[in-house]
Amino acid sequence: MPEPTDRHGLEILSSEECDRLLTGGVIGRIAFVAAGEPVILPVNYRYHRGTIVLRTGRGEKLDAAGLAAPCAFEVDDWDEATRQGWSVVVRGTMEEVYRPDEVAELEALGLRPWASPEVRHIWIRIRPDEITGRRLR
């Protein structure tokens, strides 16, 4: 049976495949609105218990999380030589992780920020409302 495709002929990824690709990813992009303007930032992350988790310091991401702001997160891969790739998009809500037991669980994941780790000690979680993925073969 052929894989389902969207109106552009891209393969629609199953939720299991999206989970697998999110789990295997290292860096993605988070998109949200800050001060009325769209912002997209690269972040390293983990996919943990069906949520995206990342570390941050004081700033726009933390401010948006404090407002339980809607956001999007995207992870992808592309092979220029074969012209094949995939993309997974998560739409959801950002929130700061406060509870000591949850923070301890996230600390055990071993996620270390690549940039300025000494100030990125606050955990943010994205609770997905929707996860979708596409693949170009």
**What's the total number of domains in the chain?**
1
Q: Note whether residue 52 is domain-resident.
A: yes
Q: Which residues of the chain have pLDDT under 70?
A: 1-2, 116-119
Give residue 116's pLDDT.
Answer: 67
Q: Which two tokens stand for residue 23?
A: 């789990």
Q: Note whether residue 87 is domain-resident.
A: yes
Q: Note whether residue 94 is domain-resident.
A: yes
The rounded distance, in Å, linking the Cα atoms of 45 and 89 is 14
Task: Specify the residue for token string 């891209």.
Answer: 10
How many beta carbons lie within 10 A of that of residue 19, not counting itself? 16
Give residue 18's pLDDT.
Answer: 97
Q: Which two tokens stand for residue 42?
A: 């690269």
The strand pair at 122-136 and 11-12 is best described as antiparallel
Give residue 1's pLDDT.
Answer: 65
Task: Specify the residue for token string 């310091």.
Answer: 57
Q: Which two tokens stand for residue 60?
A: 């726009």
Q: Note whether residue 77 is domain-resident.
A: yes
- Structural domain boundaries enclosing 122: 11-136
- Beta-bridge partner residues of 77: 86
CATH code where residue 87 lies? 2.30.110.10
